Chains A and B, each alone.
Chain A
Amino acid sequence: MHIVDGALSAPVLIAGAALTAGGIALGLRQMTLERIPAAGVLSAAFFVASLIHVAVGPSSVHLILNGLAGLILGWTAFPALFVALLLQAVFFGFGGITVLGVNTLNIALPAVLVGLALRPLIAAGGPRAAALWGAVGGAGAIALTTLFVAAALVFSGDAFVPAAKLVFLAHVPVMVIEAAISAAAVVLIKRVKPDLFAGAPAVAAV
């Protein structure tokens, strides 16, 4: 999921960095006082979760939790995930500095899309609906991320179908796990702090 330095061509890197800068600006503008703690917690959760490799069958995967971040944070997921990715690149050499923009885009944009699409549904529905949409969001964000990663590779010269298949298949277990975690988290938040979903993210005033 973290593309490393040197795997992508320059136009892809520049486009990724530019789009990420836009996303971060948008996210920071919506980062209200109330949302900062949630952003910090999700940033830290992503930072730790993607360091822990869980063996699944012959290979191993790590959680990403971007669906959950998007559902809770909306556009604010961009700065939150960017910070975590930056620290991972600096501390552990996961990804790299030049690909930071593309990696942030690949992980945060699906989060935002999932958040925009599903937040109203979660806010409006009952616990059962919330669990369902949470699961859809968790799995959907990963699926979108794999597609974005494959697309980034394709624009750098790889063939799309094998690249996409490889990344997508490797993350099917992650999707299942993330769906379960997101569903559980969404139900829990619905119960203890429903206003986290109530505020419309796209129009939050600063």
Chain B
Amino acid sequence: MKRILLSTLVAGALCAPLPALAHKVIASVYPSGAMIEGEVGFSDGTMGVNVPVLVSGPDGKVLATLTSDDEGFFTYTPTQAVALTFRADLGAGHVATASMAQDEVARIVGKGAAPTAAPAAAAPDTATSAAPDTAAAAGATSPSAQGATPPSAQGATLNAAERDAVAEMLRDELRPLRKEIAAYREKNDLQAILGGIGYIIGLFGVGFYVAARRRLAQAAS
């Protein structure tokens, strides 16, 4: 049996570098201007194409049904400031959920309602990593996160449209990175596998100990 196990392992190790469709589904959502953008895919980096995504509120009521595009992306424009749950169902038990907290949704809703009134206040709730860059691009004027000064008061700052364009660009640039991070997070490294085997050996060692003690006690009595 050892030989079988060994050859199985070797065969597996040889095949491991091949691109394989892992069966784990991952989904993530993030703010994108006045919309919520999300993506759904498999843990190895391939995207979920034409996947139905159910959007539901905190009470579990379905608010909308979306379908991901051919790159696994979907967008949703929230109308109420409630916590949202996105559930992608690829069938046969392949399900992934992602959620967005109420305050984050509230900011997006606020932005959608008044896109020109508070563009600076909305800057931080674009993709989090994009926000500092946007602020940097705005120059060394007053911190944009304050939102107290309208953009027109500062001659050198970007206007709302430009800001959105920059944010959009950054999102596009960051997308491959985000995908890569998602795939990386799902990677099984050797240490974890060896650790798991160690746990199994240890657990069965404990079982062995208990069983042996019981037998010794039986023999003694």
Tell whether A and B belong to one assembly: yes
Interface positions of A (Cβ within 8 A of B)? 1-4, 6-8, 31-33, 36-37, 39-41, 43-45, 47-49, 51-55, 58-60, 63, 83-84, 87-88, 91-94, 149, 152-153, 158, 162-163, 166-167, 170, 181, 184-185, 188-189
Chain A residues near B23: list those with CB within 8 A: 1-2
CB of B129 within 8 A of chain A? no
Output the nearest chain B residue to A84 by Cβ-Cβ distance. B200
- The reply to whether B3 and A188 contact each other, CB–CB distance below 8 Å, is yes
- The reply to whether B203 and A188 contact each other, CB–CB distance below 8 Å, is no
Report the tally of A-B residue pairs with Cβ distances under 8 A. Answer: 127
Chain B residues near A59: list those with CB within 8 A: 21
Q: How far is the CA of A32 from the CA of B13 in the complex (A)?
A: 34
- The reply to whether A36 and B211 contact each other, CB–CB distance below 8 Å, is yes
- The reply to whether B95 and A52 contact each other, CB–CB distance below 8 Å, is no
Q: How far is the CA of A53 from the CA of B5 in the complex (A)?
A: 15
Chain B residues near A40: list those with CB within 8 A: 200-201, 203-205, 207
Output the nearest chain A residue to B43 by Cβ-Cβ distance. A93
Known: A36-B208, A181-B4. A153 touches B93 (CB 8 A): yes
Q: By DSSP majority rule, is chain A's interface helix, strand, loop, or mixed?
A: helix
- The segment out of B61-69, B165-173, B187-195 that lies at the interface is B187-195
Chain A residues near B195: list those with CB within 8 A: 91
Interface positions of B (Cβ within 8 A of A)? 1, 3-5, 8-9, 11-13, 15-16, 18-25, 87, 89, 91-97, 186, 188, 192-193, 195-197, 199-201, 203-205, 207-208, 211-212, 215
Contact of B200 among A44, A94, A185 (CB under 8 A): A44
Give the one of A8, A52, A181 with max B CB within 10 A: A52
Known: A33-B212, A83-B203, A167-B92. A91 touches B11 (CB 8 A): no
Contact of B1 among A51, A87, A152, A185 (CB under 8 A): A185
Known: A31-B211, A166-B92. A39 touches B196 (CB 8 A): no
Output the nearest chain A residue to B186 by Cβ-Cβ distance. A93
Extra 16 A-B pairs, beta carbons < 8 Å, given A4-B25, A44-B197, A162-B91 = A4-B94, A31-B207, A36-B208, A36-B211, A40-B200, A41-B1, A44-B200, A45-B5, A48-B193, A52-B16, A54-B15, A60-B21, A91-B192, A93-B24, A153-B93, A167-B92
